[in-house]
Structure 1
């Protein structure tokens, strides 16, 4: 490849050529050569075919600082590298301008120059120093090489001439350039070194500092620069010029007990260059008595019943330009306003003092002092307890708002009040010394300086009017400088859970975590697997009754507290509604109690009035009276073998369909009848066998004149149930019975047919009397017929059997 390692002017066209070589020429030609630059293939339209073995490439507008150009021969599998070279670009040197030299302290010379454009390639720099412009009598000829443009050159020499010239030559591969020989004068280019400086105060002399410096400055002039370090503002820097022929200077009209920084620079007469500023030296002026009284304020305690109260006094530290020295302490004096007698005296180094006073009005003075003297007296009036309670606020329409990171307070008051005290503090701060205040005159608004308030804190701002040197009752307002979301949400609790209602309660967020004024609370609640619902309530409410809930369902609820900046959710709480409401539970309990009371009452009545209740609910139902039997015939039939037709006892017993208990009693009754002789004891046996009152009608059985041998054939009676019979049917039945008795005399056999009646208690059977052929009653017996007392149907004169009322009606 040729040319090898070329250097071209940046932005120009570059031509490169590549040869195949003798080995490849028989097989390939120049058309198979490929060019790349920095790995990127160059388009074929830039290729040049010189002959069969040589090809070239043209790179237009070459702007690379350095580039790697390669040529390849094309092969089917992989192209083969033929050659490569590094190409650099730059600019030819230009004529240097603005050549100037500086002689530092008469020992070193430094020259500098400027170029319109850098070369960006290695360039040779040659500086030539000569006594004459035609470069004769050269005392300096020095050459160096630099890739970057060199704009500064230093050299040391002890040979100085009043006048000499400096020439600069430059050369690289793209061209050459040189300057003319620039004349220089040693007096004009001399630059002194900065002098050493000292600053001190003169004892007993106020507001003055003495500045001194070293070195031989007979043929030079100097400047002094000083500034107040308390102000820390370079605009307040003062310069004193044209100081000559001396090595010290007094700075006057300074602040007392103030630190200053002082620096000096000098220049030789006839030179163009000032020396550099010396290192700053500091000095403090003498102390002086404080020039201003302390900024005094107070916080009044409550008047106690015994007439005493606490007064908290505090004041701001004086600034350095006001204290004019080191404050060593404060003197506090208290005087009654009535007779100016001293009530308290105290010396302290603190900025907060608490004094115990009575309910009278007082004057309190505070004086700050240093080594040089006392400050003016600061006086404050303390009203009496009665004046404080009767004083009414004179500041109206107080308003506070934050705008552009500043707090603005506006108010209106009486036109004769021109002085005010603005007090502000964090409402959560209990220490009185943390309060801030500011005296304002001839204003109805105040803009606080930045940084006086912090975000998310609630401040109490009060405006006190000052009238005739007395501080009157204030007007106050609480506000936030900047509000934010609450730090945390309220914790919820659920009470009084019912079937469809529940009460959710929460506590008010403490002021330190609210980060603003709470404007509302939002209750969010959601049934399990359902949609979340919400209800917003006023900030004054701390509980809410949720209604229209689903019964026996699990709910999740939480409370969100909101300020104007946004809201924060509290912790969630879960609860399950009841399956029954309170009213339903009370009704069920009342009903159960009433049932229990009824059962207990009935039990007590049963225990106490069992027999009476038994007669009411289970009345005794007597059996109908059996026919009269003759004792002789009864005894005879008891001795004779009884046939099934002539058996009296079974027919007597068959009248009733009884239970087990009654069967046992009837068996006893049969045993009694089984005796060979019926006596009075037999009658007793029959009575005992009857047992219950339901069978007492069997008692007179043995007393009847009829014999057991006579067959009882009942007469036919109506088959209607006894409960459906009226009194008329009963009377008709009795008449039929009397008539049947007359027929029974002619009928030797009488059979009794029994039938069960379900309407009778104690399994009593109703009966129909059938007239038998063998049934006959003697009319000649003349025996008195026995009757059951109270029976409705009575027997006739001829001894006809009757039917008892109890056998028909319950």
Structure 2
């Protein structure tokens, strides 16, 4: 069953498809059609279409009109607009064709929901033509016998449809052929023109939706003619200087129409035309004389024509022709001005300047200028005359008031005089509120006049430039003026200095000046900034101002832009008159980038970038640090020097102790083979008789160290370091003796002994030479051994005597009195030694040592005392006689006992010889 229905549907689809192809393929037989066929519709109107199915197609299947679907292009028309009339007819209605588009198709939905196109039509929408308006016609003259009439009209609205226009005309004898526009729809031209007949003309418009025609107009073609302009125009000068004669030819015949003319003229260098009054040229003519012209002036002429009664149209203007009037005397004197240079209070250099007259003012070619200079009282009344061909004259005049007059002469005669008063001073008021600014593409200067009556104004101006001098130009204006345009060649982007001088009848006022630009643009460059001084938190910037040629306008202000590499930019505006600025509140030891911009009224330009680095320390900070440090260092050095000077002995003891130098010891000089080197003339009276040798050696042996009392031990103790005491009482080799040399010497101790052993050994001796080999020296000489051993307390410090008095013998007192002064200046620091006992000694040694020292000391006293003979028997047997026969005298002195620990160890007993002793 289903297969059977499919066969039916397929069988139906084939003819329906064929029928649908019939719409476009033009098949003879179709399944339906639409009426009306391809309609032209008025836009916005209503429209109804019918789709009618053919009876022959109904046999292919169960097809009904209710299966019809209407479409506009690919859009389905709403079913509310459908209406099924019967089985074969379906109607669709559109109330507004503005929504209708082409094509409009009729489609059917067959079994199986297959849509098939039945038929389609093209719908055209448009508007009917409107009535043409403003129909006008004109007859153009092409030549003397050829004319063309052209009519134009307003076609009206656009109809969206093709439209045809026809120009129709009729005259008394019948209709004339229609004129159809060519290429345009609002104009039509015809060469079939007849004068002196009336024509009726109108325009007819027609399209698919209707027809319309314009109003009918009636005219005689001769009344609408636009004739050709006159030609072969000639201009010639007349006998009078203010006259020019014109002649020409007309291109239309007088039998056809009479003409009237319109003549215009202008000065050759002007664009303003002047016209001859129409009533003077209303009659037909071929020539005309123009009057009231300026002498020696070139004029340009042109004319046109039209029908005399004023009907029709003016012709075009003829070609231009020029002519020059005859010469006459100059109508005015040349504009006169001056510049005064004062070399001294009584001498002037006056530069007279005047301008050439305009062609219309000169009335001919100027041949020369006559100049007269007349001095005013109280100067002499002399009148000087000059004749020059140029427009300037330089005069040397004395200070005063002069009247200068200039007259221009041409071939006909001279001009009126131009008079200028040169006063001794500018005593009158000057103009006020002088301004200059661009206006209408020119530079306008305006001012407020003073209250007095002004005869004229002189405006001076010059171009201000760094590359050229300011060349003055000037112009004169009437005394009633309050402003004027500069008449020279004013250039844009250039600065002009403008000065206005008011002139009075017998004096003049001071000039007022201002600067102006015709046009400005941004500066040519920006300022180049540099640093004058850089501190820790500030920097002084300097720059050179822009030159006048670089400014290109008025510099209103500068902007300084500065920033660190990573910081924000800071802007500072600076007055343009300044060339220096100080940046403050900067960071120390920081790199800054600086750039300047110059601003005028039309923009800005930046200069190059400059970098600088602020200092790490401010002004005075380094001095504030260095000076205290240096002062502290110097104070420390000074305190150290004072401390070292105060502790010099302690420092010397620990750092560089005295080490005896054996090579400098005086002991080596005591040998008989060594001549004496000392001569103390101040001591000649001590021993006037002869020299002597006094050797004291004390050796003490103690049997029982406990048997010494404390006072006895003090007698053997090492003396303290007291300069005056040690010098006054030392009489041994280790001490200081009277008139002995202050030179240091080294003791003859064995080199293998330590410093400790040396300091514990004492040697006492006083050696006075008794002459060498029976020779008596001329002076008493004392030599001493500079031993480093300490002296006995009993000998060095008499104040430590237990008895409380002076225990010294009279000889010792004598030595003290005579030697204290001489030895007071001796440095005894090297006599200090520590008290030490190197090793225990037996009692026999101590007793022997004590006896020997007592004997030695007694010998010294005996030899020195006044009663020396009493001591000789005592030691006669103890010491052998010398080779000279002299026996040393010894005197025993008291000895206190001391303990073994307190007694210093001494050298071995010395062998005394005549005249001295051998070194140990």
TM range (shorter): 0.5 to 0.7
Q: 2:240 aligns with which of 198, 205, 218?
A: 205
Q: 1:261 aligns with which of 295, 298, 301?
A: 301
The DSSP-based 3-state class of the residue aligned with 2:240 is coil
Q: By percentage of residues, which structure has more strand?
A: 1
Q: Determine the structure 2 residue equivalent to 1:279.
A: 318
1:346 aligns with 2:388: yes
Q: Cα deviations across residues 662-713 of structure 1 (Å, max 9, x unaligned)?
A: xxxxxxxxxxxxxxxxxxxxx9772695999999968965969xxxxxxxxx
Structure-2 change in CA distance of 1:53 and 1:693 (3 Å): farther
Q: Determine the structure 1 residue equivalent to 2:210.
A: 175
Q: Cα deviations across residues 557-616 of structure 1 (Å, max 9, x unaligned)?
A: 3345556888765433222222233424346666798899999999xx9xxxxx999989
1:323 aligns with 2:362: yes
Q: Cα deviations across residues 55-105 of structure 1 (Å, max 9, x unaligned)?
A: 5655555569x9743437489999979535251423146488857674856
CA distance in 1, matches of 2:421, 2:213: 87
CA distance in 2, matches of 1:143, 1:449: 61
Q: Determine the structure 2 residue equivalent to 1:140.
A: 176
CA distance in 1, matches of 2:147, 2:599: 75
The DSSP-based 3-state class of the residue aligned with 1:279 is coil
- The aligned runs of 1:296-695 (5 Å cut-off) are 296-303=336-343, 309=349, 311=351, 313-315=353-355, 317-325=356-364, 327=365, 331=369, 333=371, 335=373, 337=375, 338=380, 340=382, 342=384, 345-348=387-390, 353=392, 355=394, 357-359=396-398, 364-370=404-410, 372-382=412-422, 387=424, 391=426, 394-395=429-430, 397-400=432-435, 409-411=446-448, 413=450, 415=452, 419-428=456-465, 431=469, 433-442=471-480, 445-446=482-483, 448=485, 458-478=495-515, 488-514=525-551, 521-533=558-570, 539-561=576-598, 569-586=606-623, 618=652, 686=748
Deviation at 1:519, TM superposition (A): 5.9
The DSSP-based 3-state class of the residue aligned with 1:783 is helix
The DSSP-based 3-state class of the residue aligned with 1:303 is strand
CA distance in 2, matches of 1:453, 1:225: 37
Q: Cα deviations across residues 732-753 of structure 1 (Å, max 9, x unaligned)?
A: 99679x9xxxxxxxxxxxxxxx
Deviation at 1:263, TM superposition (A): 0.9
CA distance in 2, matches of 1:227, 1:217: 26
The DSSP-based 3-state class of the residue aligned with 2:361 is helix
Contact 2:133-2:214 at 8 Å conserved across structures: yes
Structure-2 change in CA distance of 1:124 and 1:314 (3 Å): same
CA distance in 1, matches of 2:220, 2:65: 69
Q: Cα deviations across residues 466-507 of structure 1 (Å, max 9, x unaligned)?
A: 233544442334566788765544222123323333322222
Contact 2:409-2:415 at 8 Å conserved across structures: yes
CA distance in 1, matches of 2:274, 2:118: 70
Contact 2:533-2:540 at 8 Å conserved across structures: yes
The DSSP-based 3-state class of the residue aligned with 1:555 is strand
CA distance in 1, matches of 2:658, 2:629: 41
Q: Cα deviations across residues 536-572 of structure 1 (Å, max 9, x unaligned)?
A: 5555543234444333222223345556888765433
1:798 aligns with 2:840: no
Q: Cα deviations across residues 9-30 of structure 1 (Å, max 9, x unaligned)?
A: 4443344556688879957967
Structure-2 change in CA distance of 1:3 and 1:780 (3 Å): same
Deviation at 1:222, TM superposition (A): 1.5
CA distance in 2, matches of 1:796, 1:496: 93
CA distance in 2, matches of 1:392, 1:415: 12
CA distance in 1, matches of 2:749, 2:147: 166
Q: Determine the structure 2 residue equivalent to 1:783.
A: 855
CA distance in 1, matches of 2:563, 2:214: 92
Q: 1:774 aligns with which of 832, 839, 842?
A: 842
Structure-2 change in CA distance of 1:44 and 1:483 (3 Å): farther
Q: 2:271 aligns with which of 214, 232, 236?
A: 232
Q: Determine the structure 2 residue equivalent to 1:751.
A: none
Moved more, 470-479 or 173-182: 173-182
TM-score under structure 2 length normalisation: 0.59
CA distance in 1, matches of 2:83, 2:452: 99
The DSSP-based 3-state class of the residue aligned with 2:620 is helix
Q: Determine the structure 2 residue equivalent to 1:662.
A: none
Q: Determine the structure 1 residue equivalent to 2:45.
A: 12
Q: Determine the structure 2 residue equivalent to 1:196.
A: 231
Task: Find the structure with the greater CA-based Rg.
Answer: 2
Structure-2 change in CA distance of 1:241 and 1:496 (3 Å): closer
Contact 1:528-1:553 at 8 Å conserved across structures: no
Contact 1:93-1:171 at 8 Å conserved across structures: no
Deviation at 1:284, TM superposition (A): 2.0
The DSSP-based 3-state class of the residue aligned with 1:291 is coil
CA distance in 2, matches of 1:306, 1:23: 133
Deviation at 1:283, TM superposition (A): 2.7
Q: Determine the structure 1 residue equivalent to 2:188.
A: 152
1:221 aligns with 2:255: no
Structure-2 change in CA distance of 1:177 and 1:599 (3 Å): closer
CA distance in 2, matches of 1:294, 1:113: 59
Whose relative contact order is higher, 1 or 2, with alpha carbons under 8 Å and at least 6 apart? 2
The DSSP-based 3-state class of the residue aligned with 1:287 is coil
Moved more, 21-30 or 393-402: 21-30
The DSSP-based 3-state class of the residue aligned with 2:122 is strand
Deviation at 1:220, TM superposition (A): 1.1
CA distance in 2, matches of 1:495, 1:470: 52
Count of matched residue positions in the alignment of Structure 1 and Structure 2:
681
The DSSP-based 3-state class of the residue aligned with 1:544 is strand
Contact 2:759-2:834 at 8 Å conserved across structures: no
The DSSP-based 3-state class of the residue aligned with 1:293 is coil
Structure-2 change in CA distance of 1:767 and 1:478 (3 Å): farther
The DSSP-based 3-state class of the residue aligned with 2:41 is strand
Contact 1:686-1:698 at 8 Å conserved across structures: no
CA distance in 2, matches of 1:320, 1:733: 142
Unmatched tracts of structure 1, length 5 or more: 606-610, 634-682, 705-713, 716-726, 739-760, 788-794, 805-810
Deviation at 1:426, TM superposition (A): 4.1
Q: Cα deviations across residues 749-774 of structure 1 (Å, max 9, x unaligned)?
A: xxxxxxxxxxxx99x98545599562
Structure-2 change in CA distance of 1:799 and 1:91 (3 Å): same
CA distance in 1, matches of 2:483, 2:286: 52
